[in-house]
Amino acid sequence: MIHSLFLINSSGDIFLEKHWKSVVSRSVCDYFFEAQERATEAENVPPVIPTPHHYLLSVYRHKIFFVAVIQTEVPPLFVIEFLHRVVDTFQDYFGVCSEPVIKDNVVVVYEVLEEMLDNGFPLATESNILKELIKPPTILRTVVNTITGSTNVGDQLPTGQLSVVPWRRTGVKYTNNEAYFDVIEEIDAIIDKSGSTITAEIQGVIDSCVKLTGMPDLTLSFMNPRLLDDVSFHPCVRFKRWESERILSFIPPDGNFRLLSYHVSAQNLVAIPVYVKHNISFRDSSSLGRFEITVGPKQTMGKTIEGVTVTSQMPKGVLNMSLTPSQGTHTFDPVTKMLSWDVGKINPQKLPSLKGTMSLQAGASKPDENPTINLQFKIQQLAISGLKVNRLDMYGEKYKPFKGIKYMTKAGKFQVRT
Amino acid sequence: MSAAPAYSEDKGGSAGPGEPEYGHDPASGGIFSSDYKRHDDLKEMLDTNKDSLKLEAMKRIVAMIARGKNASDLFPAVVKNVACKNIEVKKLVYVYLVRYAEEQQDLALLSISTFQRGLKDPNQLIRASALRVLSSIRVPIIVPIMMLAIKEAASDMSPYVRKTAAHAIPKLYSLDSDQKDQLIEVIEKLLADKTTLVAGSVVMAFEEVCPERIDLIHKNYRKLCNLLIDVEEWGQVVIISMLTRYARTQFLSPTQNESLLEENAEKAFYGSEEDEAKGAGSEETAAAALPARKPYVMDPDHRLLLRNTKPLLQSRSAAVVMAVAQLYFHLAPKAEVGVIAKALVRLLRSHSEVQYVVLQNVATMSIKRRGMFEPYLKSFYIRSTDPTQIKILKLEVLTNLANETNIPTVLREFQTYIRSMDKDFVAATIQAIGRCATNIGRVRDTCLNGLVQLLSNRDELVVAESVVVIKKLLQMQPAQHGEIIKHLAKLTDNIQVPMARASILWLIGEYCEHVPRIAPDVLRKMAKSFTAEEDIVKLQVINLAAKLYLTNSKQTKLLTQYVLSLAKYDQNYDIRDRARFTRQLIVPSEQGGALSRHAKKLFLAPKPAPVLESSFKDRDHFQLGSLSHLLNAKATGYQELPDWPEEAPDPSVRNVEVPEWTKCSNREKRKEKEKPFYSDSEGESGPTESADSDPESESESDSKSSSESGSGESSSESDNEDQDEDEEKGRGSESEQSEEDDKRKTKKKVPEGKGEASSSDEGSDSSSSSSESEMTSESEEEQLEPASWRRKTPPSSKSAPATKEISLLDLEDFTPPSVQPVSPPAIVSTSLAADLEGLTLTDSTLVPSLLSPVSGIGRQELLHRVAGEGLAVDYTFSRQPFSGDPHMVSVHIHFSNSSDTPIKGLHVGTPKLPAGISIQEFPEIESLAPGESATAVMGINFCDSTQAANFQLCTQTRQFYVSIQPPVGELMAPVFMSENEFKKEQGKLMGMNEITEKLMLPDTCRSDHIVVQKVTATANLGRVPCGTSDEYRFAGRTLTGGSLVLLTLDARPAGAAQLTVNSEKMVIGTMLVKDVIQALTQ
């Protein structure tokens, strides 16, 4: 299936290659570079590029292209999904996935890749198993290894690979047994010029961090499971319990994982927690334009909106902007024409605003599009859909774990057209 | 390899990745500048005795490989370390070896013996890794060794090793395709494997080696369907895509009666929208609604596939969701395909690469099945932050989804898109508007007006694109649009984009009759600027001139000649040719009259309007989700998705049974498989609920045979039986009844006795596993329990007829005493657990009471007298050592002849045995007179597994397929040892070899006597004396392997107890624990 993998940085250097079958010359990447050149922007490089003898499938994350080389028919999503899994694994191992980090840990990276695929077919992709096979580097371990000469490679045999709960490593022990669940909801919305909602939907995930000893069997139930319209589970969740009782029953993996992602049914009206008042105008005659935006809270259920940032891609004709914010800081990059305003908290008594003028290219006609405003914000302790976890129970182990549930609402792809 | 030296230099600083970390001299980073020095250095390090130096050297070498640098000249130095003790060094050497073995074949051979030794290691993980590396070394000379290793590994006890064997198959095949035949044999064998671990890998091997051998799948089809949900994600994708192809060859098209179904389709679709749980049933409801008119009945196996894949739409893996979606798209009846839309839309939240692939597929689907995605229209709205390629795909989908009702909203969206800064996207939007206008007549004028407005746009690209689209639209109804053409004509002064100019000229020429005044003027202007125009514009100028000359020669004759003269001396030969050609055609000359008379017809022939259609049309002849579909070109190795067959091939090939019993067993199996689904979806709340899965169907078929042998009033019994089934079905799935009805007719004709035979087969079929992992043992249980219960029934029917009546006939009302299973929730496969929880309960309630107290083993039926045509065969496990071979379990076989003719020449015929199992046949019984019975002893070496030994029992005239499956407790023999010895041995078998379970002893079995009796009845173990009163110890050895099996039961006050089994054979240990717990708690 997957023949080889090349890691390419944004300047076009191949800084790592791994082959699972016979070696494919790195000159195959020339086709990729060609496509990259044509695409102008990194995100526009087609994920699938046919070449005379191979097919190149790539994903672009953390400013690195992960290019897989395949030779025969294989579902493209299979490869793409796997590549993303590789990136996630690196992130899990090293905290960040960047070129210097991969270079510094090249041996671990290589060992991990070796275990993930056998002859191009995925073998061990669960991070719990991988970590049993190859221990992630930590500062302490590095020091210890230097002194004692021991290694990163786990000396135990990866029994997890044999078990029926392959996602959980065996023999987990903690002194503090804790289980944390973060219910994070994102609002995707498009708001039109006049402030009415064109489309809005809520997508949510439950990210978990479970550090429990032994083989706990957890059940998590909701007060209002009906809200969940479409769900997708981590493989540990027993699908049939969900079907019949709307209860999440699972033996969790050890550590961080995404338990569930869901979509809130479309029938429920989505509360939009913020509004943006905008007045952006270009005039044909003058080389100055007016720019004014104000952000205010709308339906927030009494919670404060935090971490608000506003970004907007200004039209090419805009040379510079002179703006004054009532709070926060703003920057305008005259090269990329990107305006960003870091607002911070919204105080309902004193709404933050950003006012000023834009200087336009002299002689050029006014741009025909007003810029779209992208919004980011966070609301703590609120799940905007109203989803509530009812209870979490543990079976199979005797101790009493510490349980924590946190709610948060964020802006997903939240756009205001102007 | 070809890495430029410059590369290594600029990376030189960070080159030795481990260096700062591992405290090595930073100067060594500089080593990379000089090849010789470095290699000497590394060789030295590799030759030392210090592991840390070796490790350091290997790390640097691997770093070199990772950067694509050549490290091949180190080969001899590295290979020496293949047997190194340090595990990380070893692993890195493997990495190196696999990378360079191909180039240094001779030297690579040095390492082979290490791996061969590894293949014999007692630890399964070491065996597996040895096989993995061995098979990855691409050296043709070792092909025979690899072949041997693969064959051996394919029958390994450990599923993990078998999985590795499956992985090795394509490797060997790519190395030497001559081995295909032998490899297919191995694949066939592995396909029969029942563990989830192996399934995905072997199907992968199948797809790479012999995708055309679809016949190998028949026997494993149902098993694969049932295992699917527990296979890991990557395997799921491969299996689903293979099954899609399989289903296309084996089943009839569900859409062949589409027209009939049409009216119901809408209803069913919305039904499934409202109630997901009923989704699967809705087709059947539809089917039930028109039984008379609709002769198509979906093959139960087809249904099985659809049903078992549906939950996977909830998978977190986009690849799995896509695989299921394509399966539904290609295989499901129209009414059911809708369920995939939601899941696909969900994937649009994922990474942009995933979106890209999904949108491509959605685009194809939305052409065929527009209704499916209509509710999700808004999810395809475009955001300014989407990458251009995503925007264009979304636009494609939106266009496909546009219809009479939603077109206003779609057009409003398009209006916003037109003002985007992304010009490629704007151009695509204009094209999309054009397509909407052609598809939906009602909005054509609106669109046209909108496009005309765009003509005054300041951006030239937008204008040009609009012109092109307008041209196409006008061609459909030119008459009414003289105004627009005039407007366009004015634009020729401003528009510079060649394509747009050419389009305008063509339009004016084509419809010059509608604009008789303007056309000559345009030609005049164009003639003026002719030399400065682009080639395609020039061609159109010639065209326009020719057309005008033909319609209005008075005004344009001179102009035309002028243009043609200019063209005659053009640099481009196309234009020169065209000019010459046109001149000959239109200008009447003396000799060539014939053509010029028809010139008007040639130039002004009515031209059909162009059809604006999606580039995704007809892409669905490629399997969706495939690479070929994405590229719209056949990729190497793409397997065509076959068309539905006209006639369904014989469905009986999928029965894992001799064809004679097809009908019956088919039905049985079907039933069995449907049950879990319904019971689960309704909630496995109560014990009666879950009881109606597998064991019941077992018990029913069983009661048939036993009731018959017991009382002889078979007909009434079986009627009862049928009723029972009906009730149950009514509860489970009302919608099925129409289908069931016609099935029943066929069923009733089948003699009752055959149900037995098929059910015994079913046991082995339904068990989803062989004998290794934890989960397996769980399902092994499923297989074991009903079987043993069945066998025990006949004797008990004499001793306790009342029990039998209740349990067999009124099973539904029968509630076992203890509801909550002591089930260890910890280590149970997610979905199987749910399935199985109920099973063990119901049967096991009966087991202990039926156990004969003396030997612990009752008689079990091998061949029923009806199936055997008068020959009835029972067997018992005698628990005596078998005289011929101590590794064999001795089985006493009792024959009795209840027919009225003597049976002659009884012997065992060609046994078909799983690997490792062997049979010592009993001496042939020459003749058995009517009414007489005889006993023979045979030995079976079960190879310490609970796989059934299948063999044929032959008489002179007939052959019967029978199988003996040992309960795990019979695979061992008691060992007598002292308490101290016991403790010592137990100390050696800790850790993974120890299995501990907690249980509650019911009041009824708290006395010593009963506990000991129950344990020894379950397993052939010897009691070990014990100092404390509430601890019980038993010991035994497995017969074949001779591994110790130690069992400790620690009973605490108030019934709490802890059961510990220590054994090297973990599987046997786990199964034993389960069996004993069951025996004790019931």
Element of type H or E holding B971: none
Percentage of chain A beyond pLDDT 90 is 18
Average pLDDT over residues A163-172: 74
Q: Across the strands, what pairs with A211?
A: A178
B543-584 pLDDT per residue, tens:
888 888 888 778 888 888 888 888 888 888 888 998 888 888
At A145, the pLDDT band (50, 70, 90 cuts) reads low
Q: Is the model's pLDDT at B176 over the cut of 70?
A: yes
Query: CA B452, CA B437: separation in Å to the nearest integer?
Result: 13
Q: How far is A349 from chain B (nearest CA, A)?
A: 32
Residue among A48, A233, A244 whose CB faces B316 most closely = A233
> What 3-state class would DSSP assign to A260?
strand
Q: With respect to residue B492, please indicate whether it lies within any of the assigned structural domains.
A: yes
Query: CA B171, CA A118: separation in Å to the nearest integer?
Result: 10
For residue B763, the model assigns a pLDDT of: 40
Query: CA B1004, CA B396: separation in Å to the nearest integer?
Result: 72
Q: With respect to residue B747, please indicate whether it lies within any of the assigned structural domains.
A: no
Statement: the pTM of the whole predicted model exceeds 0.80: no
Q: Is the model's pLDDT at B838 over the cut of 60?
A: no
| Beta-carbon contacts of residue A352 (< 8 Å; ≥ 6 apart) | A294, A295, A308, A325, A326, A327, A328, A343, A344, A346
Query: What's the token pair of residue A399?
Result: 């101790």
User: Pseudo-torsion of CA A246, A250, A253, A258, nearest 10°?
Assistant: 0
B10-57 pLDDT per residue, tens:
433 343 343 343 434 444 444 444 444 557 788 888 888 887 888 888
Inter-chain residue contact A80 with B319, CB threshold 8 Å:
yes
Query: CA A197, CA A188: separation in Å to the nearest integer?
Result: 11
Query: CA A142, CA A8: separation in Å to the nearest integer?
Result: 27
Residues B937, B1077 within the same domain:
no
**Domain end point (choices B916, B931, B966):** B966
| Beta-carbon contacts of residue A303 (< 8 Å; ≥ 6 apart) | A379, A380, A381, A382
**Domain end point (choices B605, B633, B665):** B605
Residues B1047, B997 within the same domain:
yes
Contacts 24+ apart (CB under 8 A), B1059-1063: B1059/B996, B1059/B997, B1059/B998, B1059/B999, B1060/B994, B1060/B995, B1060/B996, B1061/B994, B1061/B995, B1062/B985, B1062/B986, B1062/B989, B1062/B990, B1062/B993, B1062/B994, B1062/B995, B1063/B989, B1063/B993, B1063/B995, B1063/B1038
Inter-chain residue contact B637 with A72, CB threshold 8 Å:
yes
Q: In one letter, which amino acid is B248?
A: R
Domain ranges of chain A: 1-146, 176-268+381-414, 273-378
Query: CA B654, CA B300: separation in Å to the nearest integer?
Result: 11
For residue B906, the model assigns a pLDDT of: 80
Query: What's the token pair of residue B726?
Result: 């009906």
CA proximity to A137, closest of A120, A122, A154: A154
Chosen CATH of A1-146 out of 3.30.450.40, 2.40.50.140, 3.30.450.60, 3.40.50.300: 3.30.450.60
Average pLDDT over residues A148-176: 66
Query: CA A195, CA A278: separation in Å to the nearest integer?
Result: 10
On whether the CB atoms of residues B329 and B241 are closer than 8 A, the answer is no
Inter-chain residue contact B378 with A161, CB threshold 8 Å:
no
Domain residues for the domain of B67 are: 40-251
Q: With respect to residue B1077, please indicate whether it lies within any of the assigned structural domains.
A: yes
Query: CA A143, CA B755: separation in Å to the nearest integer?
Result: 69
Residues B178, B105 within the same domain:
yes
Inter-chain residue contact A243 with B95, CB threshold 8 Å:
no
What residue in B sits closest to A260 (Cα-Cα)? B316
Residues B934, B949 within the same domain:
yes
Inter-chain residue contact B316 with A26, CB threshold 8 Å:
no
Beta pairing class for A217-222 and A247-250: antiparallel
First-to-last C-alpha distance (Å) of chain A: 47
Inter-chain residue contact B318 with A77, CB threshold 8 Å:
yes
CA angle B712, B717, B720 (to 5 degrees): 175
- Mean pLDDT across chain A, nearest whole number? 85
For residue A182, the model assigns a pLDDT of: 93
On whether the CB atoms of residues A151 and A145 are closer than 8 A, the answer is yes
Element of type H or E holding A207: strand A197-211
What is this model's ipTM? Answer: 0.90
Q: Is the model's pLDDT at B784 over the cut of 50?
A: no
Handedness of CA A107, A110, A115, A116 (dihedral sign): positive
Tokens 């035979």 locate to: B757
Residues B961, B979 within the same domain:
no
A82-131 pLDDT per residue, tens:
999 999 999 888 888 888 888 888 888 888 898 888 888 888 888 877 88
Q: How far is B126 from chain A (nearest CA, A)?
A: 9
A200-244 pLDDT per residue, tens:
888 899 999 999 988 889 999 999 888 888 888 888 888 888 888
Query: CA B358, CA B820: separation in Å to the nearest integer?
Result: 45
Query: CA B97, CA B88: separation in Å to the nearest integer?
Result: 14
Average pLDDT over residues B1013-1037: 81
Residues B1025, B913 within the same domain:
no
Residues B115, B227 within the same domain:
yes
* Contact residues on chain A for B92, CB-CB shorter than 8 A: 107, 111
Inter-chain residue contact A107 with B63, CB threshold 8 Å:
yes
> For B405-552, where are the alpha helices, taking DSSP H only?
407-418, 423-439, 444-454, 460-476, 482-491, 498-510, 518-529, 535-551
Q: With respect to residue B911, please indicate whether it lies within any of the assigned structural domains.
A: yes
- Mean pLDDT across chain B, nearest whole number? 72
Residue among A118, A229, A316 whose CB faces B167 most closely = A118
B841-869 pLDDT per residue, tens:
333 333 333 333 334 456 777 777 777 77
Best B157, B316, B1070 residue to mutate vs chain A (most A CBs within 10 Å) = B316
Residue among A50, A163, A369 whose CB faces B774 most closely = A163
The DSSP annotation for B196-252 comes to HHHHHHHHHHHHHH-TT-THHHHTTHHHHHHHGGGS-HHHHHHHHHHHHHHHHHHS-
Q: How far is A206 from chain B (nearest CA, A)?
A: 13
Average pLDDT over residues B379-396: 89
* Contact residues on chain B for A235, CB-CB shorter than 8 A: 232-233, 315-316, 830
First-to-last C-alpha distance (Å) of chain B: 69
* Contact residues on chain B for A365, CB-CB shorter than 8 A: 458
| Beta-carbon contacts of residue B1002 (< 8 Å; ≥ 6 apart) | B818, B1055, B1080, B1081, B1082
Q: How far is residue A44 from each of residues A47, A77, B387, B395, B633, measured CA to CA in Å?
A: 8, 17, 6, 16, 21
Query: CA B31, CA B41: separation in Å to the nearest integer?
Result: 9
Best A240, A251, A368, A374 residue to mutate vs chain B (most B CBs within 10 Å) = A240
Q: Across the strands, what pairs with A230?
A: A263
Q: With respect to residue B317, please indicate whether it lies within any of the assigned structural domains.
A: no
* Contact residues on chain B for A59, CB-CB shorter than 8 A: 351, 353
Query: CA B832, CA B493: separation in Å to the nearest integer?
Result: 75
| Beta-carbon contacts of residue B935 (< 8 Å; ≥ 6 apart) | B892, B893, B894, B895
Residues B934, B1035 within the same domain:
no
On whether the CB atoms of residues B489 and B518 are closer than 8 A, the answer is yes
Q: How far is B297 from chain A (nearest CA, A)?
A: 27
A237-295 pLDDT per residue, tens:
888 888 888 899 998 988 888 998 988 866 667 888 888 888 888 776 667 788 888 99
What residue in A sits closest to B636 (Cα-Cα)? A72
Q: In one letter, which amino acid is B498?
A: P
* Contact residues on chain A for B198, CB-CB shorter than 8 A: none
Q: With respect to residue B153, please indicate whether it lies within any of the assigned structural domains.
A: yes
Residues B166, B87 within the same domain:
yes
What residue in B sits closest to A126 (Cα-Cα)? B232
Q: Is the model's pLDDT at A364 over the cut of 50?
A: yes
On whether the CB atoms of residues B953 and B906 are closer than 8 A, the answer is yes
Rounded to a whole number of angstroms, the CA Rg of chain B reads: 39
For residue B559, the model assigns a pLDDT of: 85
CA proximity to B576, closest of B565, B590, B592: B565
Inter-chain residue contact A162 with B158, CB threshold 8 Å:
yes
Q: With respect to residue B618, please indicate whether it lies within any of the assigned structural domains.
A: no
Query: What's the token pair of residue B378?
Result: 């808004």
| Beta-carbon contacts of residue A358 (< 8 Å; ≥ 6 apart) | A282, A288, A289, A290, A291, A314, A318, A319, A320, A321
Inter-chain residue contact A243 with B62, CB threshold 8 Å:
no
Residues B925, B1007 within the same domain:
no
Residue among B18, B314, B375 whose CB faces A239 most closely = B314
Beta pairing class for A306-313 and A373-380: antiparallel
Query: What's the token pair of residue B891?
Result: 């089985």
Residues B937, B985 within the same domain:
no
Best B353, B623, B680 residue to mutate vs chain A (most A CBs within 10 Å) = B353
**Domain end point (choices B214, B230, B251):** B251
* Contact residues on chain B for A42, CB-CB shorter than 8 A: none
Question: What domain count does chain B have?
Answer: 4
Q: Is the model's pLDDT at B789 over the cut of 60?
A: no
Residues B921, B993 within the same domain:
no
Count of pairs with CB atoms under 8 A, one residue in A, one in B: 313
Query: What's the token pair of residue A19?
Result: 């082959």
Inter-chain residue contact A110 with B62, CB threshold 8 Å:
yes
Q: How far is A106 from chain B (nearest CA, A)?
A: 6
CATH of the domain at B172: 1.25.10.10
Percentage of chain B beyond pLDDT 70 is 72
Query: CA B823, CA A404: separation in Å to the nearest integer?
Result: 28
| Beta-carbon contacts of residue B987 (< 8 Å; ≥ 6 apart) | none
Q: How far is A159 from chain B (nearest CA, A)?
A: 8
Residue among B123, B321, B681 whose CB faces A244 most closely = B681
Evaluate whether A1-146 and A176-268+381-414 have a shared fold: no
Average pLDDT over residues B986-994: 77
On whether the CB atoms of residues B1054 and B998 are closer than 8 A, the answer is no
Query: Does domain A273-378 match CATH 2.60.40.1170?
Result: yes
User: Quick one: fold of A176-268+381-414?
Assistant: Immunoglobulin-like (2.60.40)
Element of type H or E holding B112: helix B105-119
Average pLDDT over residues B981-985: 82
**Higher per-residue pLDDT: B674 or B112:** B112
